[in-house]
């Protein structure tokens, strides 16, 4: 495929060269020196054939210009020498001045139409490089005296730069053509703005900003998330040093041809050459929609390109249109006005706070102050301490969320919009405005208040109906697993079959072991893969056998999509064996606590699904099966993943099976350090012990951190919660959904999850929710959740004798 394309390109190139009136003769067709010249009709072709220099007439114009274009696409002109001084006829000639070494474009009468003004040097030559750069260099030292890349027209090629050289004062920016027929400078300029050392690219129309890319966030320009899809082939390069502040990009070897153009109509496009269709494909275009028009919604306005029903413009929380009649007439550039004045400093009782505006292209950075050296938390403190600070945001974002550095706005917030993979902006508001987020964010709704309230009532009704329906559905799902008759039993299987399946319990088939048994992987004659748990002989006391029988009995009734399924059992002679469905993706702890690549396997959405699954499974054990079964050893190792990454709670190990009504005081204390509730260490056993362990499991899944007997994670989570830094708990390797998707409210989902987790680990069992409540709040996004108090955090090490913990360690399938 590649080869075919290449051949095609070369053929086209040959064709092109043959059709060109005269190609410069033999050898160095990309170079000429003193005494040589390029006349109209002749061309210079770069060594690899990609670029051509020659005379051309744009569009319908008859005037002649000297320019450089892509050889495969002669109308893709990327540089023009005499933009302001077209030649009237084909008598033009390009030569190297014999006295000064200047590159000169002369018309028929010998008048200079354009000159490079390069330094006076005796021996120079001009060369068209394969990058599309026309350079004048000293023939001997090869020092570049002048290059076309320093004098951009309307196109940025790989290797070119926009911005400023701070030593020399040279500035580079793009200027549009006046029209497709006229390459003279038009009304649009694309400039790298760097006043704050936080560069952003602005498209100017005369003296007015027309479109901003948003500030550089360390990976792309904040308002151009498209870049993340092509940055692999065309890495973006922003330099902010003492010597230069520049933006440019390169092309990886083998990447297709590309260019960034400012059109005469004021549209910036990144085009990529598709060699199979011989056409330029648009990879990015800006402005891309109404919300990219600079300042569309005015100061403190917020543009939402998907909110056609409210004419796209709204006001930030705590603000209302400065002129409602003007907004009604869609005249939104007047912006919004603050409802309640900020209370900075003066009044203890009504202090200011911040609200989070998620997923935006950050406002104009012209008058911001930037500090790359402090954290976003310090940024918050700095903003809070300074009465003129109106908002702040991270200056850089990291892979997987989170950020660092600090941008502080002290003036109007202008040109704010929602954007895919946008950033978080923290807006300062007076205390009373924070507590009550305004229902109608989009202010057209306030103008049409009566209609809005009617709509709101309908929405509320719809919501109630949906909620009830959903609630019913989730109830139903919960009940699906209940056996229709209590006579349901687990079949027994003969020892011979299991021996065959595991090659006589071969060492090589062991996939896990613990205090009570060994787990083997096996294959049934019908091809099914199974996990075989064989109890140790030493565990087979009278009580042990009893426990075994009880597990089989209870497991027979526990049928739920989120519980591991017991397929069969075997109790021949002294053997006690349980047979389960084999779980190819093994146990959850391998991923949550694994290498970064393993952690990244489970995306945000999958982690939520897993948390949900565990909650449903445990809720079913507690209340769904007709009997209350306590798991007693919930932990990540005991959650297995099927081939669809569905969570299956496993290991209802014999010693842990417990039926609430049959209190058994002789029951071994079973605990895994870090997961045990305070009361379980006092041998008090309730359903709420599982709730506590579930809380720990949930926080571990979110954070990727092990709690352990020191309760490190719980302390950390509670600390972040108190400081309102919940996002910092999330494992940074987790892949987040794009912010534009309607289901991508990661921040609030995370917050809810953490809140549920903290409620589950409350000191007193009575303060913890029942598992069915947990399922309800996890599945309905809007239900109210109580605010957690400081959880029951205590150091388990002081309570644990290591030996005892080992003794009670149960079979876990911790593989490899």
Ligand X SMILES: *[C@@H]1O[C@H](CO)[C@@H](O)[C@H](O)[C@H]1NC(C)=O
Q: Are 43 and 53 in contact (CB under 8 A)?
A: yes
The window from 58-66, 136-144, 359-367, 416-424 that contacts ligand X (CB under 6 A) reads 359-367
Task: Dig out the tokens for 325 from the structure.
Answer: 């009649």
Identify which of residues 42 and 424 has a Cβ nearer to ligand X in the complex. 42
Site membership for ligand X, residue 91 (CB under 6 A): no
Site membership for ligand X, residue 207 (CB under 6 A): no
Identify which of residues 62 and 350 has a Cβ nearer to ligand X in the complex. 350
Identify which of residues 382 and 799 has a Cβ nearer to ligand X in the complex. 382
Q: Are 29 and 128 in contact (CB under 8 A)?
A: no
Site membership for ligand X, residue 347 (CB under 6 A): yes
Q: What are phi and psi of 692, to 5 degrees?
A: -60, -50
Q: Are 192 and 214 in contact (CB under 8 A)?
A: no
Site membership for ligand X, residue 378 (CB under 6 A): no
Identify which of residues 127 and 811 has a Cβ nearer to ligand X in the complex. 127
Identify which of residues 339 and 686 has a Cβ nearer to ligand X in the complex. 339
Q: Scanning the structure block, which residue is given the tokens 């001009």?
A: 126
Identify which of residues 143 and 367 has a Cβ nearer to ligand X in the complex. 367
Site membership for ligand X, residue 112 (CB under 6 A): no
Site membership for ligand X, residue 367 (CB under 6 A): yes
Site membership for ligand X, residue 666 (CB under 6 A): no
121-130 CB burial, b ≥16 within 10 A, e <16: beebbbbbbe
- Which position among 3, 22, 27, 99 is part of the footprint of ligand X (CB under 6 A)? 99
Closest CA to 150 of 77, 97, 81: 81
- Which position among 20, 37, 139, 603 is part of the footprint of ligand X (CB under 6 A)? 37
Q: Which of 304, 633, 690, 731 is catalytic?
A: 633
Identify which of residues 416 and 771 has a Cβ nearer to ligand X in the complex. 416
Q: How far apart are CA 196 and CA 636, in angstroms?
A: 47
Using alpha carbons only, give the angle 620, 623, 625 rounded to the nearest 5 degrees.
65
The window from 16-24, 220-228, 362-370, 787-795 that contacts ligand X (CB under 6 A) reads 362-370
Q: How far apart are CA 169 and CA 175, in angstroms?
A: 19
- Which position among 350, 454, 455, 458 is part of the footprint of ligand X (CB under 6 A)? 350
Shortest distance in whole angstroms from residue 97 CB to ligand X? 9
Q: What are phi and psi of 213, to 5 degrees?
A: -85, -15
Site membership for ligand X, residue 598 (CB under 6 A): no
Shortest distance in whole angstroms from residue 390 CB to ligand X? 10
Q: Are 303 and 416 in contact (CB under 8 A)?
A: yes
Shortest distance in whole angstroms from residue 668 CB to ligand X? 59
Task: Dig out the tokens for 702 from the structure.
Answer: 């979110």
Site membership for ligand X, residue 778 (CB under 6 A): no
Shortest distance in whole angstroms from residue 368 CB to ligand X? 8
Site membership for ligand X, residue 90 (CB under 6 A): no
The window from 170-178, 301-309, 364-372, 670-678 that contacts ligand X (CB under 6 A) reads 364-372
Q: How far apart are CA 312 and CA 304, in angstroms?
A: 5
- Which position among 386, 585, 601, 740 is part of the footprint of ligand X (CB under 6 A)? 386
Site membership for ligand X, residue 366 (CB under 6 A): yes
Closest CA to 793 of 753, 758, 766, 752: 758
Burial group, residue 13, by CB count within 10 angstroms (0-12, 13-18, 19+): middle
Q: How far apart are CA 460 and CA 456, in angstroms?
A: 6
Site membership for ligand X, residue 665 (CB under 6 A): no
643 as an active site residue: the answer is no
Shortest distance in whole angstroms from residue 658 CB to ligand X? 55
Identify which of residues 111 and 684 has a Cβ nearer to ligand X in the complex. 111
- Any alpha helices (H) in 502-652, and if so which ranges? 542-557, 589-592, 596-601, 604-619
Neighbours of 114 (CB within 10 A): 21
Question: What string marks each residue from 122 to 141 as x (binds ligand X by CB under 6 A) or -?
Answer: x-------------------
Q: Are 801 and 644 in contact (CB under 8 A)?
A: no
Q: Hey, which residues between 699 and 758 contact ligand X (CB under 6 A)?
A: none
533 in a labelled binding site? yes
Site membership for ligand X, residue 100 (CB under 6 A): yes
Maximum CA extent, the chain: 115
Q: What are phi and psi of 759, to 5 degrees?
A: -65, -35
Identify which of residues 196 and 710 has a Cβ nearer to ligand X in the complex. 196
For 300, 323, 428, the CA distances from 390, given in Å and listed in that order, are 10, 21, 5
Shortest distance in whole angstroms from residue 290 CB to ligand X? 20
Shortest distance in whole angstroms from residue 276 CB to ligand X? 40
The interaxial angle of helices 687-703 and 604-619, nearest 10 deg, is: 170
The window from 71-79, 224-232, 366-374, 507-515 that contacts ligand X (CB under 6 A) reads 366-374
Q: Hey, which residues between 396 and 455 contact ligand X (CB under 6 A)?
A: 408, 410-412, 414
HSE of 160, CA atoms in CB hemisphere, 13 A: 30
Shortest distance in whole angstroms from residue 207 CB to ligand X? 12
How many residues line the site for ligand X (CB under 6 A)? 21
The window from 70-78, 263-271, 365-373, 636-644 that contacts ligand X (CB under 6 A) reads 365-373
HSE of 183, CA atoms in CB hemisphere, 13 A: 30
Site membership for ligand X, residue 115 (CB under 6 A): no
Q: Which residues contact 81 (CB under 8 A, 6 or more apart)?
A: 65, 66, 67, 94, 105, 114, 148
Q: Which residues are annotated binding-site positions for ATP?
A: 533
Residues near ligand X (CB under 6 A): 37, 93, 95, 99-100, 120, 122, 347, 349-350, 364, 366-367, 369, 386, 388, 408, 410-412, 414
Q: Which residues are annotated binding-site positions?
A: 533
What is the set of active-site residues?
633
């Amino acid at each position: 495929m590649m080869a075919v394309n290449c051949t095609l390109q070369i053929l086209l190139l040959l064709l092109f060269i043959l059709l060109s009136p005269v190609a410069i003769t033999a050898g160095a067709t990309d170079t000429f020196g003193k005494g040589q010249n390029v006349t109209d009709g002749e061309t210079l072709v770069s060594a690899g054939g990609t670029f051509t220099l020659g005379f051309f007439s744009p569009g319908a114009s008859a005037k002649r210009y000297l320019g450089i274009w892509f050889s495969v696409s002669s109308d893709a002109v990327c540089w023009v020498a005499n933009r302001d001084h077209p030649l009237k006829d084909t008598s033009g000639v390009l030569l190297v001045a014999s006295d000064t070494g200047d590159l000169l474009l002369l018309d028929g009468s010998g008048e200079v139409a354009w000159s490079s003004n390069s330094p006076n040097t005796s021996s120079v030559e001009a060369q068209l490089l394969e990058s599309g750069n026309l350079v004048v260099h000293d023939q001997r030292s090869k020092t570049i005296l002048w290059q076309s890349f320093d004098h951009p027209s309307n196109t940025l090629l790989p290797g070119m730069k926009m911005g400023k050289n701070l030593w020399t004062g040279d500035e580079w920016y793009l200027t549009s053509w006046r029209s497709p027929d006229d390459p003279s400078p038009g009304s649009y300029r694309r400039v790298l703005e760097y006043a704050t050392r936080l560069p952003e690219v602005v498209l100017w129309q005369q003296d007015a900003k027309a479109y901003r890319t948003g500030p550089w966030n360390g990976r792309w320009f904040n308002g151009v998330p498209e870049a993340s899809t092509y940055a692999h082939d065309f890495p973006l390069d922003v330099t902010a040093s003492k010597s230069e502040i520049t933006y440019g990009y390169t092309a990886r070897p083998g990447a297709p041809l590309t260019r960034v153009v400012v059109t005469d109509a004021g549209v910036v496009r990144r085009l990529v050459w598709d060699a199979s269709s011989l056409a330029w494909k648009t990879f990015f275009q800006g402005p891309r929609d109404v919300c990219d028009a600079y300042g569309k919604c005015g100061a403190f306005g917020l543009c939402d390109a998907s909110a056609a029903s409210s004419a796209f413009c709204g006001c930030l929380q705590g603000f209302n249109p400065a002129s409602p009649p003007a907004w009604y007439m869609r005249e939104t550039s007047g912006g919004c006005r603050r409802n309640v004045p900020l209370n900075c400093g003066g009044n203890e009782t009504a202090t200011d706070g911040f609200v989070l505006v998620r997923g935006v292209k950050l406002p104009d950075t012209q008058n911001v102050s930037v500090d790359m050296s402090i954290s976003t938390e310090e940024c918050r403190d700095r903003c809070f301490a300074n009465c003129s600070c109106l908002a702040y945001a991270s200056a850089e974002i990291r892979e997987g969320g989170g950020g660092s550095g600090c941008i502080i706005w002290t003036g109007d917030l202008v040109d704010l919009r929602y954007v895919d993979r946008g950033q978080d902006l923290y807006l300062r508001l007076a205390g009373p405005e924070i507590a009550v987020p305004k229902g109608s964010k989009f202010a057209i709704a306030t103008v049409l208040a009566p209609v809005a309230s009617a709509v709101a009532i309908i929405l509320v009704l719809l919501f109630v109906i949906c909620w009830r329906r959903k609630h019913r559905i989730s109830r139903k799902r919960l009940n699906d697993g209940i056996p229709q008759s209590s006579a349901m039993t687990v079949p027994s299987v003969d020892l011979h079959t299991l021996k065959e399946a595991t090659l006589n319990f071969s060492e090589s088939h062991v996939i896990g072991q613990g205090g009570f048994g060994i787990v083997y992987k096996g294959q049934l004659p019908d091809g099914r893969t199974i996990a075989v748990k064989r109890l140790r002989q030493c565990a087979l006391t009278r009580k042990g056998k009893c426990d075994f029988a009880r597990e089989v009995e209870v497991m027979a009734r526990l049928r739920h999509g989120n519980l591991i399924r017991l397929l069969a059992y075997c109790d021949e002679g002294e053997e006690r064996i349980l047979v389960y469905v084999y779980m190819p993706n093994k146990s959850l702890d391998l991923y949550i606590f694994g290498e970064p690549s393993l952690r990244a396997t489970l995306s945000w959405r999958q982690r939520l699904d897993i948390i949900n699954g565990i909650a449903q499974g445990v809720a079913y054990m507690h209340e769904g099966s007709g009997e209350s079964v306590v798991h007693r050893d919930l932990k990540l190792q005991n959650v297995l993943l099927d081939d669809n990454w569905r969570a299956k709670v496993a290991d209802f190990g014999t010693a842990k099976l417990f039926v609430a009504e049959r209190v058994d005081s002789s029951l071994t204390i079973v605990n895994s350090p870090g997961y045990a509730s305070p009361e379980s260490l006092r041998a008090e056993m309730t359903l709420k012990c599982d709730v506590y362990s579930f809380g720990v499991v949930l926080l571990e899944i979110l954070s990727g951190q092990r709690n352990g007997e020191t309760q490190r994670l719980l302390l950390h989570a509670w600390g972040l919660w108190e400081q309102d830094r919940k996002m910092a708990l999330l494992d940074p390797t987790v892949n987040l959904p794009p912010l534009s998707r309607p289901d991508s409210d990661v921040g609030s989902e995370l917050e809810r999850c953490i809140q549920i987790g903290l409620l589950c680990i409350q000191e007193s069992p009575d303060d913890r929710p029942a598992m069915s409540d947990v399922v309800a709040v996890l599945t309905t996004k809007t239900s109210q959740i109580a605010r957690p108090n400081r959880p029951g955090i205590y150091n388990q090490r002081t309570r644990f004798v290591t030996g005892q913990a080992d003794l009670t360690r149960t079979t876990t399938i911790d593989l490899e």
